[in-house]
Chains A and B, each alone.
Chain A
């Protein structure tokens, strides 16, 4: 594989990674809000008593966990973005090398 082809490959890889990072970010929001509707309905319901209290507590715990997972997803997407940036740099470097060689 020549330098130009390698440069194109890394550039393409960078684009794909950037797209994937964006998709992961989009899902982070959905993960964070996964139990919002359930929590609203539990709060709205007339369900009371120890079982309902337990449900409230567990829902709060799991929603907090979901928010942490969503934050980690944002971190992961940033890491994928960084990988995309590295691929772009590599592609740029390869293009420079190809121009020099030409």
Chain B
């Protein structure tokens, strides 16, 4: 008999963080009690027994993380941003894949109409293509899935990164709106804020032929807002509002604007890239250098991430991550 189960991966992130906090506190308590009893000259077995509980917490945290990753895998395959379907078969938990995410509707009226002058969005959508689309999705998935785990010991970053990944995911889950939203990312970029985010998306697209120097629309350097009239401006404004929601979950900015202006933003971006690099290194444990100077990280779940701290074309601090995934297993069986 199969029993359908639903869970929210985000809720498990919270559980995982709580377990991580308990783990850190527990380790500290073991150390402190050991020292106290030693100073008192009063031997006690309590610290060693507490260490056993702490070891269990460690295992528990790992199990929760594995469960969450399984849910996220199912989530990815099922195209459900918030809920995953997990099925129990013969006492084992399996995530059953559903049809893959479709590419954007290349000739749909929506993207062309909402992304600026007639035909431009459509042309850009053509250039985006299936490969870049998959890459964008993979990037969103990686950010959402991996970074919260890798950065859980930092106080402020994990939630922001996770929310950012979710935001990307939501953005990518609505293909018809993507060109308009990318246009808006470019607007944000031109204004000096969040341009690392635009770089990330442009990077995902750029790997498949989009010119990084000019951006996806090819016209943001002209200073033209590129909205193609009032209707386009309204669409861009709506998309902008949505993006602000995505990029500032709960009103808290991801990657703060720097009071020092564009240069400050550049420094913040570079710091974020360095942080990401450290997280990837910690998560992967090993890396190798590709012929083009990029670092290839093999992650525990079989993914390979290519990390490049800078764009190859213009040297801007872009989040140039090229995740590649091994063929997705048809059924993922939890250990």
Interface on A for B, CB 8 Å cutoff?
16-17, 20-21, 23-24, 27, 30-31, 34-35, 37-38, 40-42, 44-52, 55, 58-59, 62, 65-66, 69, 72-73, 76, 79-80, 83
Contact of A37 among B6, B18, B39, B334 (CB under 8 A): B18
Q: A23-B36, A58-B60, A76-B37 are in contact. Are A47 and B18 (CB under 8 A)?
A: no
B275 partner residues in chain A, CB cutoff 8 A: none
Set of chain A residues within 8 Å of B7, measured between Cβ atoms:
45-49, 52
Specify which of A30, A48, A58, A69 is in contact with B49 (CB 8 Å cutoff).
A69
B8 is contacted by which of A46, A51, A80, A83 (Cβ under 8 Å)?
Answer: A46
Interface 1/0 per residue, B24-47 and A, CB below 8 Å: 011001001100110110101010
Assess whether A49 is in contact with B25, with CB atoms less than 8 Å apart.
no
B33/A24 in contact, CB under 8 A? yes
> Could you show 5 A-B contacts with beta carbons less than 8 Å apart?
A27-B36, A40-B18, A44-B11, A47-B7, A62-B56
Least distance between B307 CB and chain A CB atoms (Å): 32
Chain B residues with CB below 8 A from A58, complex form: 56, 60
User: Judging by beta carbons under 8 Å apart, are B5 and A49 in contact?
Assistant: yes
Distance to closest chain B CB from A77 (angstroms): 9
> Is A47 a contact of B42 with CB atoms below 8 Å?
no
Interface residues on B, range: 35 or more
Q: How far is the CA of A44 from the CA of B12 in the complex (A)?
A: 10
B186 nearest CB across to chain A (Å): 37
* Identity of the chain B residue whose Cβ is nearest the Cβ of A17 in the assembled complex: B40
Given contacts A30-B25, A48-B5, contact A69 B11 (CB under 8 A): no
Report the separation of the CA atoms of residues A59 and B64 in the bound assembly, to the nearest whole angstrom: 12
Any A CB within 8 A of the CB of B257: no
- Determine if A55 and B49 form an interchain contact, defined as CB atoms under 8 angstroms apart: no
Question: CA of A41 to CA of B18 in the docked complex: distance in angstroms?
Answer: 7
Residues of A within 8 A of B18 (CB): 37-38, 40-41
Complex CA–CA separation, A80 to B91 (angstroms): 51
Q: Is the beta-carbon distance between A62 and B53 smaller than 8 angstroms?
A: yes
What's the Cα separation between A52 and B49 when bound, in Å? 25
| Closest Cβ–Cβ distance, residue A59 to chain B (whole Å) | 8
